[in-house]
Chain A
Amino acid sequence: MARAFTPKVVTANALVEGDAVYLAADGTWVRHLCQAELITDEVRADARLALAQAQPTVVVGPYLADAVAGADGPEPAHFREDFRRKGPSNLFHGKQAERAAPQR
């Protein structure tokens, strides 16, 4: 019996900056989870992951992370991805601080 596919995003760390990045529908890397492509079938997920893995000078360690559809794009399914998308909870650093001045 085929199991229902849990929607996913492709995510990784940027090679130089080291921060969390996500693969967008147009194939570019974006800084915020809400801009990522939410992938809803397994064949596409594998293809997008392969595309990410072929870019070792841009990103490190790409993987598929579970996500859910939200009003403003993908939302994390697990608290680890929630921290990756926001930044640390003890200091206002990382993405949560950058969001005031979003990059691309």
Chain B
Amino acid sequence: MYQYNDFDTAFVKNRVAQFRAQVERRIAGTLTEDEFRPLRTMNGLYLQLHAYMLRVAIPYGSLDPAKLRQLAYIAERWDKGYGHFTTRTNIQFHWPRLSDVPDMLEALSEVGMHAIQTSGNTVRNVTSDHFAGAAEGEIEDPRPIAELIRQWSTDHPEFQFLPRKFKIAVIASEADRAVMKSHDIGLRIVEQDGARGFQVWIGGGMGRTPMVARLLRDFLPRADLLPYLEAVLATYNRLGRRDNKFKARVKITVHENGLDEIRRQVEAEFPRRRAVFSGVDQDWLARIEAAFITPSLSPRDTAAYHAARDADPVFRSWCDTNVAPHRRADHGIVTISLKAHGQTPGDMSAEQMRLVADLAERYGHDDIRVSHAQNLVLPHVALTDLPALHAALKPAGLATGNIGLASDLIACPGMDYCALATARSIPVATGIAKRLQELKIEHDVGHLQIKISGCINACGHHHVGHIGILGLDRGGVETYQITLGGDASESTEIGTRTGPGFGYDEIVPAIERLIFAYLDLREAPKETFLETYRRVGMTPFKSALYDEAAAYAAE
């Protein structure tokens, strides 16, 4: 885990002091709301339906026990005893009082955390692969590069007022676990002729105009990264539309100007930028790489693990869904599900946070990750420790074995919290999960990603769900539109609308019909929902959704 240096610490403390003064001035009335809003959003503070909401950055989703314990402390001291992990691997507190926020930020700064650039038209939290440093098939740990980008972009004077928010993801393997192609810029570390560099993808995004990123540069030499990113951002800063918020994201800039023209302008700007850098960024990177402590894993016997698998079918089943292969055969990557059936996806209580912090110390080399699917990950656990880990997670409600299954769904806060929402998303998510549990079919159904957003902003990634659900307000009634065939992996695709939406009471049965239709249609149990959809197309699913509904209504 990267250790912050004195400069970082002083910078963050300084920002807290500044914000404390700003809050005081707002409460005293010397700052108007119009003046205060950009200041508070720069510090991750939103005003929601029922309260303020503080979004705390978790750079590339990496936590350690001290940080997680401090989040637990903050949740109990100033919130309602829990936090909500988001699809951008941040954490949100949904109930702070304005006057408490400076203290919360101060408490965060004690463990090197903050809420800077979690909002506003800046470069947001840089996300990465939640299996980074542990996954099979990875060229290198992508997080030092993500940290380099974080340091460079934090408080970068030229890029504090971009046309719109800007999201960057970095991965280092063919498998994409970070939805890289749905980001404004997606970077994939690759090797060409023995040299490391980047594929640079641009213009991905969700929201009201979902787009899959396009390849801007197929190989960018490693040392050119920051000057090249500066050239891209400078080009976007110049061309991006400020007249219309809905056309301001870089995906629209690319769409309107054409990829070739963007590339031409970026390449023209690039040499100027590179001349200014003169290699200082490579010194930064070397320092960052040195400060990234990767655990050294000693060989461990696996006999106890195999014995436990044979003895306990619940443990075995949990391992099969929640433990992914580690680059070392005697270790595993454990995903801790925050999707117990009926629980709000991504919510975690302070006690659960403390437990996971303890377990990460005992079994996980102090390494904890947040995944964009709103779960936590312990990336380095010896297989032989898994039975004890599983046993410790169980009583805390953290041993649900459903990773990658249909109840491992993503949901944004929706109208239960979000001021922009047009409908609720959480109760749809919990409704589907509870129904799946009643039916006891999800292990048979296998890999299926359902993603739900409470408005067209698509924070719940519905466009790339195998089944996507979008909550809308149609004439004062919550209405849910379904899309099929979205894909969040390396073969990213935007889903297709099935047709008319469903009411709040109809949406869970509609999803159930889709799942049963899939079970009927698949050629073999190993054919996934997405594969079946790609083979048979929309028609049979549409018929399950609409014809069967009509048939039931007629009965």
Interface residues of A (CB under 8 A from B): 13, 15-20, 56-57, 60-61, 77-80, 83-84, 87-91, 93-95
Q: Assess A90 versus B430: contact at CB under 8 Å? Given A17-B97, A56-B32, A56-B33.
A: yes
Alpha-carbon distance between A90 and B430 when the two chains are bound, in angstroms: 9
CB distance from A64 to the nearest CB of B (A): 16
- Residue of B whose beta carbon sits closest to that of A83: B415
> Is the pair B426, A19 in contact by a Cβ cutoff of 8 Å?
no
Can you list 14 A-B pairs, Cβ within 8 angstroms, ordered by A?
Answer: A15-B98, A17-B97, A17-B98, A18-B47, A57-B29, A61-B47, A80-B473, A84-B49, A88-B50, A88-B426, A89-B416, A89-B426, A90-B427, A95-B50
Contacts of A57 in B (CB 8 A): 27-29
Which A-chain residue is minimally distant from B32 (CB atoms)? A56
In the A-B complex, the 4 residue pairs with the closest CB atoms: A88-B416, A18-B51, A57-B29, A18-B52
Known contacts A90-B344, A90-B430, A93-B95, A13 near B415 by CB under 8 Å: no
Q: Mark B13-45, 1 if CB is under 8 A from A, else 0.
A: 000000000000011110011000000000000
Complex Cα gap A77–B430 (Å): 26
- Are B344 and A18 in touch, CB under 8 angstroms? no
Within 8 Å CB of B426, what residues of A? Answer: 88-90
In the bound assembly, the distance between CA atoms of A77 and B475 in angstroms comes to: 12
B416 touches A60 (CB 8 A): no
- For B95, list chain A residues within 8 Å (CB): 93
B265 at the interface (CB under 8 A from A): no
Assess the A18–B97 pair: CB atoms within 8 A: yes
Whether B50 pairs with A84 at a CB distance below 8 angstroms is yes
CA distance A84 to B344 in the complex (A): 19
Among A56, A61, A90, contact of B416 (Cβ-Cβ < 8 Å): A90
Asked whether B33 lies within 8 Å of A89 as measured between CB atoms, the reply is: no
Contacts of A90 in B (CB 8 A): 344, 416, 426-427, 430
Chain A, residue nearest B477 (CB): A79
Complex interface: chain B residues within 8 A of A94 (CB) = 50-51
Q: Which B residue sits closest to A57, measured CB to CB?
A: B29
Residues of A near B306 (CB, < 8 A) are none
Residues of A within 8 A of B52 (CB): 18
Of listed B32, B98, B477, B478, residue having the most chain A CB within 10 A: B98
Chain B nearest Cβ from A30, distance in angstroms: 16
Is A18 within 8 A of B416, CB to CB?
no
A33 to chain B, nearest CB (A): 13
A29 to chain B, nearest CB (A): 15
Q: A84-B50, A90-B344, A90-B426 are in contact. Are A60 and B80 (CB under 8 A)?
A: no
Q: What residues on A are CB-neighbors of B188 within 8 Å?
A: none
Query: Measuring CB to CB, which residues of chain B are less than 8 angstroms from any residue of chain A?
Result: 26-29, 32-33, 47-52, 80, 95-99, 344, 415-417, 421, 424, 426-427, 430, 473, 476-478
CB distance B32 to A93 under 8 Å?
Answer: no
| Chain B residue contacts of A15, Cβ below 8 A | 26-27, 98
| Chain A residues within an 8 Å CB radius of B478 | 79
Given A18-B47, A18-B98, A83-B415: A91 and B344 within 8 A (CB)? yes
Task: Decide: A60 near B50, CB < 8 A? Known: A79-B478, A88-B417, A93-B80.
Answer: no
A61 pairs with B49, CB closer than 8 A: no
Docked complex Cα distance between A60 and B415 (Å): 19
CB distance from B474 to the nearest CB of A (A): 11
Whether A83 and B98, one on each chain, are in contact in the complex, defined by CB atoms closer than 8 angstroms, is no
Chain B neighbourhood of A17, CB < 8 A? 51, 97-98
CA distance A15 to B47 in the complex (A): 9
Q: Are B50 and A20 in contact (CB under 8 A)?
A: yes
Partner of B49, one of A16, A60, A83: A83
A18 to chain B, nearest CB (A): 4
Residue of A16, A18, A56, A61 near B50 (CB, 8 A) is: A18
Q: Which residue of B lies closest to A93 (CB)?
A: B80
Q: How far is the CB of B460 from chain A (nearest CB, A)?
A: 14
In the assembled complex, the CB of A60 is this many whole angstroms from the nearest CB of chain B, namely 5
Shortest CB-to-CB span from B418 to chain A, Å, is: 10
Given the interface pairs A16-B97, A16-B98, A78-B476, the reply to whether A87 lies near B50 with Cβ below 8 Å is: yes
Q: Contact partner of B99 among A16, A77, A89, A93, CB < 8 A?
A: A16
> When the two chains form the complex, which single residue of A56, A79, A95 contacts B29, counting CB atoms closer than 8 Å?
A56
| Contact in complex: A60, B427 (CB < 8 Å) | no
Chain B residues, CB < 8 A from A18: 47-48, 50-52, 96-98
Instruction: With both chains docked as a complex, state the minimum distance between the C-beta of A70 and any C-beta of chain B, in angstroms.
Output: 17
Q: Which residue of B lies closest to A86 (CB)?
A: B50
Hey, which chain B residues are within 8 Å of A89, CB to CB? 416, 424, 426-427
Complex contacts, B96 vs chain A, CB 8 Å: 18
CA A78 – CA B474 in complex, angstroms?
A: 11
Query: Does the CB pair B427–A19 fall under 8 Å?
Result: no
Given contacts A18-B97, A79-B476, A89-B424, is CB(A60)–CB(B51) below 8 Å?
no
CB distance from A98 to the nearest CB of B (A): 10
Looking at the assembled complex, report how far the CB atom of B552 sits from the nearest CB atom of chain A, in whole angstroms.
25
Contacts of A79 on B, CB cut-off 8 Å? 415, 473, 476-478
7 extra A-B contacts, CB within 8 A, seeds A84-B49, A87-B50, A90-B344? A17-B51, A17-B98, A18-B50, A19-B51, A78-B476, A90-B430, A95-B50
